[in-house]
Copies of this chain bind each other. A is one copy, B any other.
Amino acid sequence: MLKIALGQIEVIPGRPDLNTGRMLSMIAEARKEQADMIIFPEMSIPGYLLGDIWEQQAYLRDCEAFGREVISAAQHICVIFGNVAINWEKRGDDGRVRKHNACFIAQNGRLIGTRIKTLHPNYREFDDTRHFFSLRKLALERKQDIETLLEPVKVIIKGEEYNLGCIICEDGWNDDYSVDPIAALTADGRSDLLINISSSPFTLGKNNKRNRVFSKQAQEAGIPLIYVNNTGLQNNGKTVYTFDGFSTVYNSNGQIIAYCQPFTEKLEYIQLDIAAGGQSLGPVNVPDDFTIDSLHQCISYGVKKFLQAINMNKVVIGVSGGIDSAVCAALYASILNPADILLVNMPSRFNSQTTKDLSYQLAQNLGCLYTVMPIEQSVEHTAAQISDARITDLSSGRQNKLAVSSFVLENIQARDRSSRLLAGIAAAFGGGFTCNANKSELTVGYSTLYGDQAGFLAALADLWKHQVYQLAQYLNTSIFRREVIPQATIDLVPSAELSFDQSVDEGKGDPIMYAYHDYLYRAFMEYWNRTTPEDILAWYSQGSELLEQKLGCAPGLVDKLFPGPRQFVEDLERWWRLYTGMGVAKRIQAPPVLAVSRRAYGFDHREAQNSVYFTQEYIKLKNRLLSETLG
């Protein structure tokens, strides 16, 4: 029977000093509790998402030194942790010193084993292949089988020998690889216990899948499996990821016998009878993580940790009376002191009394700081200054003037609010201002650059509009337990209110029909095999039901929205053009996005400012469809 401590620490990326400090105190505590072994996550010393800091040799030496401290502290306890392993004699493919993403096993103050990661993910947000040399590459270099290179680590605890099959994160997700590290480590009963140290970002629903996959692994190997993941927040600039921890122990039947509370730094103990496969412990229930609770937990944790990370404790939020800014305000109000939140309503002549009142009501419900700063005067000044200015052609001496169209004026208003007012107010208030954009807007660039797209963090920008509404209901019902977001805001037609054509009182609003477009955009953006107009049109041409089923939107919607193929095609092309055209240009300059879904904008949605393109098959299909309609 071994007493094993799961060191689910909050890893601060780029702070090996702080991480090592917390690891040392957890080791001391576990030792006091007479634990036999303590396990920390992947890259627990350096952090995982560090950008190109891996190219700094000084940082590598620093992490090595901290690693030695942890190894020295492994007294009367076996310590397993993640760190970068450096082979100073060899080079990586980039010619820099060779680095491995590694698992270290220490005992009696000495290193007794190092295992390097075999499978390096290079999809989604993962960037292992850029920095680290995998066991796959090593096998090729040495002309050896990977299976030969993979072997368990032997440790002796209380006189008993245990063979630990140590793997790192992706090694446990080998479905699409030609190599199976777990099979290699567990063949012929070579291992007594599987240990997977991970640094695995939260995405909605991922733990449900992880529990299915890892349960099966434990069961197939017939030995227990311990998964240890970190908590905290890490980012790669454009995208901010939360780490939920949710460390879990599976017995040899594949049952979950223990887990750590998600999104909580935790030192958890388990008494594991390894010889009996941990079967003496009964199964426990783990929370489903494809729920609005999970989504809210991720966003709330993410915003809190991001504010801590950038040392910000005051925010300014532009509130329009609409749903996005209201949800943003309520979210921040559930995290910060209301006196540190300043809500600003900035009406122009196009804003209805309805939305002005709703802004005030929201602020009252939350008890925040509130002010109203109209933009009418400044927008008029800007429009006049631009249209009155004399433009001189210095080659001919001719003078001319510029005209400010109503479309130009719409964007002037949006920038006036954000870049002129909110940015100035935030600086004077000593904080930052939020970006309230949602994922639907960001997909098609339905926002103004340096206007409503600006801010220090886009906390809702990985939520489709319908998810923003779900979150609004959840905040009222489950977090505040009262109507902080006015029901009228939830019921209001979504509108930018930048012209009289967008009057909410007349029920006019956004050109985006969220009930359908949310799902269309999601198919463009989130599907593993990305959907294009060719796919959409092929489905549509086989019947609206098929399309609705493929997109996951409400049945009957498509024919209701589009009288015929001509209108359908027009709509499809309009949004595809925006998604792959102006949307890209705007996203390049967008704020960091807090990730919730399987694919958020930023590093995991690589895109170039290239031409809008329709495939040849699309064009054929469209021509056929439209000529049939005419015929």
Contact = CB atoms under 8 A, between A and B. Distances in A.
A394 B369 contact: yes
Interface in A575-609: 584-585, 587-592, 605-609
Contacts of A234: 608, 610
A615 interface: yes
Contacts of A95: 123, 175-176, 528
Contact of A51 (B123, B418, B607): B607
B404 A424 contact: yes
Interface in A542-597: 584-585, 587-592
A321 interface: no
Chain A interface size range: 35 or more
A391 B130 CA distance: 50
Q: Which of A12, A59, A140, A234 has the most CB of B within 10 A?
A: A140
Contacts of A421: 382, 385-386
Contacts of A393: 339, 369
B608 A236 contact: yes
A34 interface: no
Nearest to A61: B617
Interface stretch (A13-21, A261-269, A274-282): A13-21
B371 A310 contact: no
A228 interface: no
Interface in A1-58: 12-15, 17, 47, 49-53, 55-58
A115 interface: no
Given A58-B617, A450-B418, A611-B14, A428 B386 contact: yes
Interface string A362-383: 0110111111110001100111
Contacts of A66: 616
A369 B398 CA distance: 9
A501 interface: no
A392 interface: yes
Given A385-B378, A528-B95, A605-B52, A415 B408 contact: no
Interface string A339-352: 10010000000000
Interface of A: 12-15, 17, 47, 49-53, 55-59, 61-62, 65-66, 91-97, 119, 121-123, 127, 129-130, 136-137, 139-141, 143, 145-146, 175-179, 234-238, 240, 309-310, 338-339, 342, 363-364, 366-373, 377-378, 381-383, 385-387, 389-395, 400, 402-405, 407-408, 411-412, 415-416, 418-421, 423-425, 427-429, 449-451, 454, 456, 528-532, 534-535, 584-585, 587-592, 605-611, 613, 615-618
Given A17-B616, A236-B606, 9 more contacts: A15-B610, A15-B613, A66-B616, A94-B122, A94-B176, A235-B609, A404-B428, A419-B420, A423-B449
